[in-house]
Chain A
Amino acid sequence: MHAVWIATPAARNDNGRVMQDFANLLDQLVYTPQRNGKIRLIADYLRSADDPDRGYAMAALCSAIKLRNVSYSAIRDMIHARTDEVLFRMSYDYVGDFAETASLLWPASPRNSPPPPLTEVVDTLAAMTKAEAAAQVAIWLDVLDVNGRYALIKLLTGGLRVGVSARLAKVAFASAFDVSIEEVEEIWHAMEPPYTPLFDWATGKADRPDLNELPVFRPFMLANPLDDKEIDFSDYVAEWKWDGIRVQVVRVNGETRLFSRTGDDIGGSFPDILAAFDRDGIADGELLVRSETGEPAPFNHLQQRLNRKTVSVAMRKKYPAFIRLYDILFDGDEDVRSLDLLERKDRLRRFVMELPSERFDVSEFLEVSDQSALEALREEARATGMEGLMLKQKSSRYEAGRKQGLWYKWKRDPLLIDTVLMYAQRGHGKRSSFYSDFTFGCWDGGVLKPVGKAYFGFTDQELKELDKWVRKHSVGRFGPVREVEKALCLEVAFDSVHESPRHKSGVAMRFPRVHRIRWDKPAQEADQLQTLKALIG
């Protein structure tokens, strides 16, 4: 699977790599649905673009550029001054995207100067007043082509919307310069655009930047699935896998940050946590919300606090957050990642004693001496709604990534329910010719109510069969969606189910996937909505 790579025409002005190259990259990313294709496009760009342009390009892809002195309304005023307002409105109604409409309608002017490098755009605007910046943007829009104008307006108004996450951009960076993604992640978080020391290190021009004085994200140590592996229990300890989200809390020289698994700074949603972490150090744990009984509340409660720009006092009171800590990476300014697991846990216990206990506690080890003890813990996990269980080698150091043999995870069996296929939609990329996104429902008083959507869990062969079935049994079409005869039973696996007033059925499932296609089972015998509701927890 590759991107449609088209060599850029030879014509290139003396200004070196320009904004236009970045615009072309964005354009190609829009039309390349495959992950690997996107990685290749970005990597090719990063290898060939100049410093510091490529650094700003990375920042733009990761939504890390903030150009606050040019607003959406300033651009809207400029385009209205140059085009007929009625024609603009009719066009905008049709196109549906402001940046695209404006880029197409901006009157082309003869080019008497080359388009600016990305760096010049960022640096120049940063040093200007709002009025100066608007005038400067107008000059650039004059010299750019349609794609260039689109890229510039997207850059200024935020949100490139080319289907690239920050993680994907970093994976592409690692692939471009053949360096490890864990190291890129670690250094990345210490840098500001245009990340010159990162590029210098990756291209061999300089040593690895020193991060010890900075409140940066350190890549997580991760576990491999236990499956049926045989392990020597005397070397391992067990630990609950709590049902929240894995986080890293960092404080260096008094500056505190809270990072998610992917290294995103989520501190804004958790001021209560940030304020309470008042010792320098870096710790790894599970972010949870406390229920009225003081125990961790179901995941759904935590979800109320995620992705919020501001959190009201009422919110903080109703869903009090805390972190159950698994591990410690830095104790004060001392890097303890090379100590073994048991020693680190001791350090962690001492570290936590100084922190407010309503916000931080320690996830304690569980003894597991043999297979039957492990089985008993699994039973307990199922009974208490724990997400699963970890097995950690006592002598393991804290190593980034998923090193074999050190940490294992076991997740409790998913919940299962029999549903009926209701609608199918075509997928993207490689799956664009297949109906691969399935909406399924449960019975509610003789009527099917949609309860969820799944687009994985089946093999390629099963997908072919599902696709064929959908085409043969369509009863209606709505754009890319087909409604099908209510005749195929799908056994759906999911991690948990929660009440949701936003859904017609009143419930929302977590991680639903197709577990089995029940070709044999009559649709009438699929489960009732009531049965699903009984699993809420």
Chain B
Amino acid sequence: MTIASTSQFWLQPRHDGLYCAPGDFWIDPHGGKDRALITHGHADHARPGHDKVLATSQTLAIMRARYGKASGQAQQAIDYGDALKIGDVAVSFFPAGHVLGSAQILLEHKGQRIVVSGDYKRRRDPTCLAFEPVACDVFITEATFGLPVFTHPDTAGEVAKILAAQEANPERTLLVGAYALGKCQRVIRHMREAGYTKTIYLHGAMVGLCDLYRELGVDLGPLKQVNLKEMGKLPGDIVICPPGQLNDRWARRFADPITAFASGWMRVRQRAKQRGVELPLIISDHADWNELTQTIEDVAPGEVWVTHGREDALVYWCESNGIQAQALSLVGRGEDADDG
């Protein structure tokens, strides 16, 4: 099957999201829509203000925690693997391995299968289910790290760096910048698995989502919100905060802080240096180049659509390997550079 023009097709990339005409619903749209299917809870995919929202129960819980009443007039949960009929389209969700509750959405219509993968990764994440390749005609992929320079090393080695720096610097606070949803909890979980049992301190912005993860059954060990009046400057402790706080005034209160940042962007030295990062940690919730290309080989779709990131290189790779591909441009995706 070859789809020459996506604008006439039953799934259409529009400037504010993917629109499915025979089901009259949107996937990860911007702006309030009547019916929205949401792949996962990150703010560039899960927007507030829709009427009816369909997502996994975890994603719905994350949206409620973030948006309260604006998280959707009517929320409907769907389990991984279950199928629903919306209009003339069969819809089912599969794990994407990105963050807790993240899903790929399979759409079936008139014998054609399209997988909207959302954001995904292939390596192990102790806080969510692993990505499942789903056979399809069109595979819609992200390309956040769609350049061959982006190869994320083994997570264990990066986590070992955190613990080694903590142990070697008892007089300094180790400040780890991590995205509040997903990355923060995953890094904590990895540190626990590596044997770190001390209390981990949190910036206020991380507390709500950590509580939610615990409610949803992810064991994060002892956590405390930073309160310096009571706690002192926390030398020798690990504090997790939003990346934007690493080099801001908030960070000055700690004991000669070491700034660490957990992100796939840390692969590139200048990028880490620009942000004043002393301890770059290449830990990402997005697929690296090898995972992207491996996934396309595993799924073996007839055609690949690339939504956001560095589309050019991935489209070029697909074409070089005899797979038809095109870049879609969707607004507002991947704009939050800290979500790496």
Question: Which residue numbers of A lie inside 8 Å of B, CB to CB?
Answer: 1-2, 4-7, 9, 30-33, 83-84, 86-87, 90-91, 94-97, 100-101, 104-105, 426, 428, 432-433, 480
Report the nearest A residue to B259, measured CB to CB.
A432
Q: Which 3 A-B pairs have the closest CB atoms?
A: A432-B276, A104-B149, A6-B164
- A104:B247 contact, CB within 8 angstroms: no
- A31:B272 contact, CB within 8 angstroms: yes
In the complex, B258 has a CB within 8 A of chain A: yes
- Give the residues in chain A near B147, CB-CB below 8 Å: 87, 90-91, 94
- Give the residues in chain B near A83, CB-CB below 8 Å: 148
Interface on chain A toward B: helix, strand, loop, or mixed SS?
A: loop
- Give the residues in chain A near B247, CB-CB below 8 Å: 426, 432-433
In angstroms, Cα B161 to Cα A100, docked, is: 21
In the complex, B325 has a CB within 8 A of chain A: no
- A7:B280 contact, CB within 8 angstroms: no
Interface-central residue, B148, B256, B272, B273, by most chain A CB under 10 Å:
B148
- Give the residues in chain B near A4, CB-CB below 8 Å: 165, 168-169, 258, 278-279
Name the segment of B18-26, B297-305, B311-319 touching the other chain: B311-319
- Give the residues in chain B near A97, CB-CB below 8 Å: 269-270
- Give the residues in chain A near B248, CB-CB below 8 Å: 433
Report the nearest A residue to B313, measured CB to CB.
A90
In the complex, B64 has a CB within 8 A of chain A: no
- A95:B258 contact, CB within 8 angstroms: no
In angstroms, Cα B165 to Cα A94, docked, is: 30
- B149:A105 contact, CB within 8 angstroms: yes
In angstroms, Cα B247 to Cα A30, docked, is: 17
Smallest beta-carbon distance A98→chain B, Å: 12
- A31:B277 contact, CB within 8 angstroms: yes
In angstroms, Cα B246 to Cα A426, docked, is: 13
In angstroms, Cα B247 to Cα A284, docked, is: 46
In angstroms, Cα B256 to Cα A231, docked, is: 43
- A2:B169 contact, CB within 8 angstroms: yes
In angstroms, Cα B248 to Cα A6, docked, is: 25
In angstroms, Cα B268 to Cα A200, docked, is: 39
Report the nearest B residue to A99, measured CB to CB.
B269
Interface residues of B in 161-182 (CB under 8 A from A): 161, 164-165, 168-169, 171-172
A30-B269, A104-B151, A105-B148 given as contacts; is B276 within 8 A of A87 (CB)? no
Question: Which residue numbers of B lie inside 8 Å of A, CB to CB?
Answer: 147-149, 151, 160-161, 164-165, 168-169, 171-172, 247-249, 251-252, 256, 258-259, 267-270, 272-274, 276-280, 310, 312-313, 316-317, 320
Smallest beta-carbon distance A16→chain B, Å: 22
Report the nearest B residue to A3, measured CB to CB.
B278
In angstroms, Cα B168 to Cα A9, docked, is: 13
- Give the residues in chain B near A9, CB-CB below 8 Å: 160
In angstroms, Cα B268 to Cα A91, docked, is: 11
Smallest beta-carbon distance A471→chain B, Å: 8
A87-B317, A104-B149, A104-B267 given as contacts; is B256 within 8 A of A2 (CB)? yes
Interface-central residue, A86, A87, A96, A480, by most chain B CB under 10 Å:
A87
- B164:A7 contact, CB within 8 angstroms: yes
- Give the residues in chain A near B269, CB-CB below 8 Å: 30, 97, 100
11 A-B pairs (CB sep. < 8 Å): A6-B165, A31-B273, A31-B279, A87-B147, A87-B313, A87-B316, A90-B147, A90-B312, A94-B310, A432-B276, A480-B274
In angstroms, Cα B248 to Cα A433, docked, is: 5
Report the nearest B residue to A97, measured CB to CB.
B270
In angstroms, Cα B268 to Cα A217, docked, is: 40
Smallest beta-carbon distance B267→chain A, Å: 7
Report the nearest B residue to A433, measured CB to CB.
B247
- Give the residues in chain B near A101, CB-CB below 8 Å: 149
- A100:B268 contact, CB within 8 angstroms: yes
- A90:B258 contact, CB within 8 angstroms: no
Apart from A4-B279, A5-B169, A94-B149, list 15 A-B contacts with CB within 8 A: A2-B169, A2-B172, A4-B258, A4-B278, A32-B278, A33-B276, A33-B278, A90-B312, A91-B147, A91-B149, A91-B313, A104-B267, A426-B247, A432-B247, A433-B248
- Give the residues in chain B near A5, CB-CB below 8 Å: 165, 168-169
- Give the residues in chain B near A432, CB-CB below 8 Å: 247, 259, 276
- B168:A7 contact, CB within 8 angstroms: yes
- B280:A31 contact, CB within 8 angstroms: yes
- B256:A86 contact, CB within 8 angstroms: no
Smallest beta-carbon distance A3→chain B, Å: 8
- A96:B169 contact, CB within 8 angstroms: no
